[in-house]
Amino acid sequence: MAFGKAAATNKRFQPFDLLATLIAVLRTDGAVLFANAALEDALGTSRRTLEGSQFGACFHEPAVLRTAIDGARSHDFATLRYEAFLRRVNHELMPVQVTLAQTDKPGELIVEMSPLENQVRQDREERLLDQAQANKELIRNLAHEIKNPLGGIRGAAQLLQMEVESRDLIEYTQVIIHEADRLQTLVDRLLAPHRRPHVVGDVNIHEVCERVRSVILAEFPRDLHIERDFDVSIPEFRGDREQLIQATLNIVHNAAQALAERRAAGDAQITFKTRIARQVIFNKQWYRLALELHVIDNGPGVPDTIKDRIFYPLVS
């Protein structure tokens, strides 16, 4: 009978295994009713070992959890958040943000733990995404504002060129026309990502890498070596192949240019590395599987002053 009750409890909490955050369901005496897969991995302890044990033993300071549980039992709060350190088998302590809340069933509590480094990274990614989106809108609006008078400047220069007779003045008007054309090209480049429709299809990341590799080696045929470290089990995925090629090409080209000293010394190297990442949170969404593409070079690295802005437009 007890076994059947435990099995029913586990079945009720099974959806928690799909979450990347660490989840434990406790009785009000602090004993573990359920631990999800992410918590098992983090602690290095099996679910069977955790269930029935005192969860406070998993923390560096068990008394804090005990106080929180007492507060929940006396209905002092509905949800409580605090920071703590989780003990892990053969690992250093893990700093986590703990959220303790009551469930809809009396006598049960849910404890959710998010590693602080992940929380900080997610907050930083969200902030950078918001800033990048604001910058894109600003640049697009600025490009439109620049584009409008460019046609008038070029047209006026052409009319002026037909009126003047001095060779020197004609050269000056030609300079104005050429510079207006150059600015028009720059504006078109800034607006191109917004104008180009997304063409979504099946993409093989290794074909993308090979395409980029061939283009870069055509430009740097003698003094650059490009290594491959591919996980060949990675399947195709849905995406915009041409935009992915362009984005990868931009990154690799920047890496190749940053390797000027290494290329002169004859030991410049770039490595393409592909891997599968699991339980990934990106842009506030959880993904069970994700693709990791690493572009690794043996150059001086990105200066600290622009690390947070490296993927902004016009930063180089």
* 154 compared with 259, residue with greater pLDDT: 259
Give residue-wise pLDDT tens across range 244-284: 998 899 899 989 999 999 999 989 999 999 999 876 766 66
Q: What is the mean pLDDT of the chain?
A: 83
The backbone torsions φ and ψ at residue 134, rounded to the nearest 5 degrees and listed phi first, read -65, -40
Domain that holds residue 86: 2-115
| Closest alpha carbon to 116 in 90, 138, 98, 139 | 98
The one-letter amino acid at 285: Q
163 neighbors 173 (Cβ within 8 angstroms): no
**What average pLDDT score do residues 82-109 get?**
85
Is 189 found in the same domain as 152?
yes
Residue 12 lies in a domain: yes
Residue that terminates a domain, selected from 115, 134, 160: 115
Question: CA dihedral in degrees (37, 39, 44, 50; nearest 10)?
Answer: -90
Residue 316 domain flag: no
**Helix/strand/coil percent split, the chain, to 5:** 55, 25, 25
Q: Are residues 211 and 287 in the same domain?
A: yes
Share above pLDDT 90 across residues of the chain, in percent, rounded to a whole number: 32
Instruction: Look up the pTM and report it.
Output: 0.52
Return the percentage of the chain with pLDDT > 70, whole number.
86
pLDDT in tens, 170-213: 888 888 888 888 888 777 777 766 556 677 899 999 999 999 99
Poorest-confidence range of 44-53, 163-172, 236-245?
163-172
- The whole-number pLDDT of residue 208 equals 95
Of 57, 87, 115, the residue at which a domain comes to its end is 115
> Does residue 132 fall inside a structural domain?
yes
As for how many domains the chain has, the answer is 3
CA atoms within 13 A on the CB side of 74: 6
CATH code of residue 67 = 3.30.450.20
Residue where a domain terminates, one of 141, 164, 195:
195
The answer as to whether 314 is a domain residue is no
CB 280 within 8 Å of CB 20: yes
In terms of domains, do 191 and 209 share one? no
Residues 206 and 276 in one domain: yes
Higher confidence at residue 35 or residue 7?
Answer: 35
Q: Do 179 and 208 fall into the same domain?
A: no
**87 within some domain:** yes
Residue 285 in tokens: 């969404």
230 falls within a domain: yes
